[in-house]
Amino acid sequence: MADTIGKWAPGSCYGPVLTQTDLYLLGTELELNPILANTSESFQLIFNLSTGQTGGYNHEARDRDTPFTAKEEPATMPRVEELIIITEHSPWCTTVKNPAGVTLGDICGTLFKEYVPQSLPPVPCAFSDNVGIMPTV
């Protein structure tokens, strides 16, 4: 009896990870993971951009939170090492990279890192004799 592996199962069992050049030369269109495409019937992703927390719910049990266990699933099929996210909701594009293939977790992590300003450490300032203003960061 042979075991079957789901199309979106995590792991490296789906052939090579393609570069942008490979993708272009093969003329292959990317298929988004159903969780990203919002077509999954078993899981609806909830991603809090301000905290980076991921979770979700099942359409049949909307009253209960479901952990985001699909973080290691490939974001696209075929798998790619670089994915550029362009949206009307953002003034810039976001590039997600993973040489082993971009995953759903890579996308959430990169969006959080790129879109949430990180706090900067205080900058020491030395006053000269004739300047009494401390710069703000």
Using one digit for the tens of pLDDT, what is the confidence trace for 33-78?
A: 999 999 998 899 999 988 999 999 887 877 888 899 999 999 999 9
Is the distance from CB of 15 to CB of 81 less than 8 angstroms?
A: no
Q: How far apart are CA 101 and CA 18, in angstroms?
A: 8
Q: For residues 91-99, give the mean pLDDT.
A: 93
- The closest of 74, 60, 72 to 31, measured between CA atoms, is 74
Instruction: Output the six-digit token pair for 84.
Output: 């550029």
Q: Before 78, cis peptide (omega within 30)?
A: yes
Supply the pLDDT for residue 125. 53
Q: Which residues contact 90 (CB under 8 A, 6 or more apart)?
A: 115
SS3 106: helix
Supply the pLDDT for residue 134. 45
One-letter identity of residue 92: W
pTM of this structure: 0.78
Instruction: Output the six-digit token pair for 122.
Output: 């205080």
SS3 107: helix
